[in-house]
Chains A and B, each alone.
Chain A
Amino acid sequence: MIEPEIPDLLPGTLYMLVLRALARGPLHGYAIARRIKDTSANALEIEDGSLYPALNRMLVKGWLQAEWGISENNRRARFYKLTADGRKQLERETKQFEKLVMAIQRVMRTA
């Protein structure tokens, strides 16, 4: 199966960003997108179309759990929260990402 493209985002970082956004507590889909947009000061924007497939793939992998709850504006909404596996995955991806960024920076600065 072909993974959908994630334009404007570094490839493979969507899972990490979603996991990070959920690290501080459960959120519903729209709030996840909003959180990423806000914390990145509007620099990163998740394409709405790719968010839900990604969330569901993460449910299958067992990184997330979903529960229905009530949103801040009193609407029924589906909240996603990290599982223990998801937290481990976040750590792993963060470490790898930091290594990668440092390596790239080193190359860019010395060149």
Chain B
Amino acid sequence: MSGEPANRLMAVWRRLTHFGRASTFDRELDEEISLHIEMRADELQQDGMTRADAMARAGREFGSALRVKEETRAAWQFRRLEETLADLSYAARALRRNPGFAAAGIFSLALGIGANTTIFSLTMEFLFSEPSGRNPETLAAMRIGGNSHAYMRHYRFLRDAHIFAGLAGSNEEAESNWRSGDETYRLHAMRVTDNFFGVVGVPLAVGRPIEPGDRDVVVLSDRFWKTRLEADADVVGKALTIDGRPYTVSGVLPPDHRTVLGFGFSPDVYLPASRENDRVALIARLPEGMSLPEAYGRLTTACKELDKVYPPEWNPQASWVTNTDVVPVAGLARLRNLRMVPFVAFFSMLLIVVGLVLLIACANVSNLLLARASTRRQELAIRLALGAGRARIVRQLLAESLLLALLGTGAGLLLNLWLASVLNHVQLPLPIPVHLLIQPDWRLLLYSAVIAMASALIAGLLPALKATRGGVSAALKRTERQVEGRWNLRGGLIVMQLAVSVVLLTMGVLFVRNMTKSMTMSPGFDVDDTVWASVRLVPEKYPTEEQVRSMTSAALSELRALPGVESASVARVVPLNGNSIRGDQVVADASAEPVRVRFHNNDVGPDYFRTMGIPILAGREFMASDRKGSPEVAILNENLARRLFGDRNPVGRTFRYPAPSLSDPITVVGVAANSKHFTLGEEKPLAMYSPYSQGAGGNLAPHLLVRSSRPEGLVREIARTLGALDPSAAIEVKPMRNALGFALLPSRIGAALLGSAALLGLALASIGLYGVLAYSVTRRTPEIGLRMALGADARAVLNMILRESGALVGLGVAVGLGVAVFATRPLAMFLVSELSPTDPPTFLGVIGVLSAVAAAATLAPALRAIRVDPMTALRSE
């Protein structure tokens, strides 16, 4: 029936209008009832009764006017709602009367809920935040031929094929030098094709975006505009000198701009990608209704056309179709991408961990409510005896936990806002600019509401059911000791809490140990006596490779001349700070069969190994004579040497690349010790080093490395020396120890987040444990007094108490350890290989900490109990 909901709504509306005229209603109802009774009396009088008798009879027939009025009024009321409100106001009064109880409950829940909502916000930001743009769900990132970025000519070919509603490109690793006054700063720029803003639909706060045909315009990020240009209101139209050229500011992005890449990546500026050798990651706007498989189909068809015009440069026989993929950039679909698995796993784990923290907090509140319920036993018994339904009383008790949960959630949300602003301002030690942008939104509110309801139920239901169990007679008994056994609900809660905190602590300790292990782990190169200077030269100033070469060698000789410098070298990639992985076929002269290997391929200058402190095990270092034009040489690390040449001595032997055409033989001149290249956790990396001037001489962003016995003291001198050489170059100098920040970041984040969650869990569980054990010992004070009065030995009584809580604690810890052994198994993917998830010291440490807390919680009240004068104790009975 279509009219039904409308009728319902009207009924609700009629009830609402009743609120305004409740007193009129009561008066009119009185009038109606008395008229009814009088009319009946009139009738009876006509039948011959006296007026008085008739009135009395009519009144009797009508029954209880009070009840009729109550029921009639009920027709107009929202009975449930009003009862709930009454329950809540009753609960509020109860909480005001017990401020300590209320504070403990709210505090526990606020911590638990604050931690939960913050991790939730973080998860949403990382996994579900959408790039700024029109309909991000119809945007898709594309790779062709397995390459993350395509050359401009390939991009233009695909764009002009018009297979999508739009195809744009962006390069996120475009560093640029910004000259301001006498200083040159390094900027993190995003180079985008001129149609990028149009295709993605990026909104701007001020001005206009980069538009087709634009060459020398720049769009600023809000952060750059505010922190570097003092939020200049007239910035649009002004020029910035970037890489030696003036760029006109065309617009400024809004503060909540999110890049297509996500993960908080936030470049300082957007520049047009106009140079022919720029490479761009492809992003397409799919036409309305086009599915990803359809898009993939169109892309591969276009790739086959591309093969004809521009065959893949690494192998003309190969096709751009291989390893081509199309992935969504927003929403759940993005998460199905395989590369997202570790992130999804990590955040799922975090959510589970803080869920456990909340569970502990709920158990605390549950325990508090149980303790309070036992003091309110008689009140409840009287209400049950007066005929209140059990459901009604359970509802009323739940109102109390609901109120606690609401207050706790309120406080938790404040905590969340504060933590989010702290997180938003965290400067991560990353080589790329990452800033989090966590904002409260409807998802957070919804999540908080769900969490509040869940906590209210989890914390309140058990105590409420328990308090009303057993009916009137059980409840009316003056004390509860007769009713409860030793293994009661509260004991069960302790065991549960302990078990959960054992699991949490195990995870936390594992991650903290993981961090200390990673920090003390040797990366295989010396970080203590090395300084790292990264230089970025302005491309416009160095049009030829020769100019770059002479600048690089001039810089090196100036550095070598500085007092205290033992050696200096140059590298294309600084280990643990950039990816140099390469997959290729290699044929060693020892065998005819090519092997496919994935290895780290760095280009390094003479003295690199000496400067970095990596031992050369056989053969020699690169020398100045290994230059462009001289025979090609290479140094292998032990792993790759063994892989290609087995147990033979590789020095003097050669290898070749069979594709695209068989290369000239490359001679192995040395074997270097194994070291870390990309991550600290990597196992048995293969690596090949090539002479810098043979492969990377024209590199505009060389990393200069300096070995010295006083690295910290040299930092400023190096910066000054390099700055004098070319004032337009952007220079950053730091001791190599700081350079480990990036490599250590994952383990530090893991340790910080899980360690603090574990500490929070432990703190909450300790408070709960202490409260419950202390309470149960205090309750037994009379019994202890009696035993002491009857001549029991203090030590025997103490032993008894310790044994009993020891049994509880032991059970809890045992259950927790059992669970932890399995729960920590999937963590192996986040840990360094030297650390097993079932690391015995971790488990022993956790047992130790929890036992200490439990012992403290039991001993203090137990000692107090045995010191109580037996007579005082007995009198309290």
- CB pair A49–B35 under 8 Å, yes or no, is no
> Any chain B CB within 8 A of the CB of A97?
no
- CB pair A29–B79 under 8 Å, yes or no, is no
- Which of B10, B28, B35 has a CB less than 8 Å from the CB of A30? B35
Residues of A within 8 A of B76 (CB): 56, 60
Q: Is the interface of B mostly helix, strand, loop or mixed?
A: helix
- Complex Cα–Cα for A33 and B50 (A): 23
- Which of A1, A52, A56, A77 has a CB less than 8 Å from the CB of B79? A1
> Any chain A CB within 8 A of the CB of B241?
no
- CB pair A62–B35 under 8 Å, yes or no, is no
- CB pair A53–B75 under 8 Å, yes or no, is yes
- Complex Cα–Cα for A47 and B40 (A): 13
- CB pair A77–B75 under 8 Å, yes or no, is no
Q: Is the interface of A mostly helix, strand, loop or mixed?
A: helix
Residues of B within 8 A of A33 (CB): 36
> Any chain A CB within 8 A of the CB of B31?
yes
Give chain B nearest CB distance to A55 CB in angstroms: 8
Contact digits for A45-72, partner B, Cβ 8 Å, 1 yes 0 no: 0011100110111011110000000010
- CB pair A61–B74 under 8 Å, yes or no, is no
> Any chain A CB within 8 A of the CB of B68?
yes
Residues of B within 8 A of A87 (CB): none
Residues of B within 8 A of A61 (CB): 7, 11
Contact digits for A66-84, partner B, Cβ 8 Å, 1 yes 0 no: 0000010101111000000
> Any chain B CB within 8 A of the CB of A25?
no
Residues of A within 8 A of B7 (CB): 61-62, 85
- CB pair B40–A30 under 8 Å, yes or no, is yes
Decide: A53 near B36, CB < 8 A? Known: A1-B79, A60-B14, A73-B42.
no
- CB pair A29–B74 under 8 Å, yes or no, is no
- CB pair A56–B72 under 8 Å, yes or no, is yes
Most chain B CB neighbours (cut-off 10 Å) among A29, A30, A61, A77: A30
Contact digits for B31-73, partner A, Cβ 8 Å, 1 yes 0 no: 1110110111010000000000000000001111001100110
- CB pair A53–B72 under 8 Å, yes or no, is yes
Decide: A1 near B29, CB < 8 A? Known: A28-B35, A62-B11, A77-B35.
no
Residues of B within 8 A of A30 (CB): 35-36, 39-40
Residues of B within 8 A of A48 (CB): 36, 61-63, 68
> Any chain B CB within 8 A of the CB of A4?
yes
- CB pair A62–B72 under 8 Å, yes or no, is no
Q: Which residue of B lies closest to A3 (CB)?
A: B71
- CB pair A59–B32 under 8 Å, yes or no, is no
Residues of B within 8 A of A75 (CB): 35, 38
- CB pair A59–B29 under 8 Å, yes or no, is no
For A, the interface residue count at a CB cutoff of 8 angstroms equals 25
> Any chain A CB within 8 A of the CB of B15?
yes
- CB pair B11–A49 under 8 Å, yes or no, is no
Give chain A nearest CB distance to B716 CB in angstroms: 81
Q: Which residue of A lies closest to B77 (CB)?
A: A1
- Complex Cα–Cα for A73 and B10 (A): 35
Most chain A CB neighbours (cut-off 10 Å) among B29, B42, B71: B71
- Complex Cα–Cα for A42 and B705 (A): 111
Residues of A within 8 A of B40 (CB): 30
- CB pair B11–A60 under 8 Å, yes or no, is yes
Residues of A within 8 A of B38 (CB): 75
Residues of B within 8 A of A73 (CB): 39, 42
- CB pair A52–B32 under 8 Å, yes or no, is yes
- Complex Cα–Cα for A71 and B42 (A): 14
Give chain B nearest CB distance to A68 CB in angstroms: 8
- Complex Cα–Cα for A40 and B805 (A): 75
- Complex Cα–Cα for A53 and B29 (A): 11
- Complex Cα–Cα for A83 and B7 (A): 13
Most chain A CB neighbours (cut-off 10 Å) among B42, B64, B72: B72
- CB pair B72–A59 under 8 Å, yes or no, is no
- CB pair B64–A49 under 8 Å, yes or no, is yes
Q: Which residue of B lies closest to A68 (CB)?
A: B28
Decide: A62 near B62, CB < 8 A? Known: A29-B32, A52-B68.
no
Give chain B nearest CB distance to A90 CB in angstroms: 15
Q: Which residue of A lies closest to B3 (CB)?
A: A85
Give chain B nearest CB distance to A71 CB in angstroms: 8
Give chain A nearest CB distance to B2 CB in angstroms: 14
- Complex Cα–Cα for A28 and B35 (A): 10
Give chain B nearest CB distance to A81 CB in angstroms: 15
Residues of A within 8 A of B68 (CB): 48-49, 52-53
Decide: A78 near B33, CB < 8 A? Known: A49-B63, A60-B75.
no
Give chain B nearest CB distance to A27 CB in angstroms: 12
Give chain B nearest CB distance to A72 CB in angstroms: 10
Give chain A nearest CB distance to B721 CB in angstroms: 87
Decide: A62 near B14, CB < 8 A? Known: A47-B63, A48-B63.
yes
- Complex Cα–Cα for A55 and B61 (A): 19
Give chain A nearest CB distance to B796 CB in angstroms: 58
- Complex Cα–Cα for A78 and B64 (A): 21
Q: Please provide the chain B residues from 313 to 348 with a CB less than 8 Å away from any CB of chain A in the complex.
A: none
Give chain B nearest CB distance to A45 CB in angstroms: 10
Q: Which residue of B lies closest to A72 (CB)?
A: B39
Give chain B nearest CB distance to A58 CB in angstroms: 9
Residues of A within 8 A of B75 (CB): 53, 56-57, 59-60
Q: Please provide the chain A residues from 7 to 39 with a CB less than 8 Å away from any CB of chain B in the complex.
A: 28-30, 33
Residues of B within 8 A of A85 (CB): 7
- Complex Cα–Cα for A56 and B22 (A): 13
- CB pair A62–B64 under 8 Å, yes or no, is no
- Complex Cα–Cα for A62 and B10 (A): 8
Residues of B within 8 A of A57 (CB): 75
Decide: A53 near B14, CB < 8 A? Known: A1-B79, A30-B36, A85-B7.
no
- CB pair A49–B67 under 8 Å, yes or no, is yes
Give chain A nearest CB distance to B391 CB in angstroms: 12
Residues of B within 8 A of A56 (CB): 72, 75-76
- CB pair B14–A78 under 8 Å, yes or no, is no
- CB pair B31–A76 under 8 Å, yes or no, is yes
Residues of A within 8 A of B63 (CB): 47-49
Q: Tell me the A residues contacting B by CB distance below 8 Å.
A: 1, 4, 28-30, 33, 47-49, 52-53, 55-57, 59-62, 71, 73, 75-78, 85
> Given A53-B72, A56-B72, list of 5 further CB < 8 A pairs?
A1-B74, A52-B29, A52-B72, A53-B71, A77-B32
Residue contacts A-B, CB under 8 angstroms, 13 given: A4-B71, A29-B35, A47-B63, A49-B63, A49-B64, A52-B33, A62-B11, A75-B35, A77-B32, A78-B28, A78-B31, A78-B32, A85-B7
List the 8 closest pairs (A to B, CB-CB), nearest first.
Answer: A56-B75, A53-B71, A57-B75, A30-B39, A49-B63, A48-B62, A52-B72, A30-B36
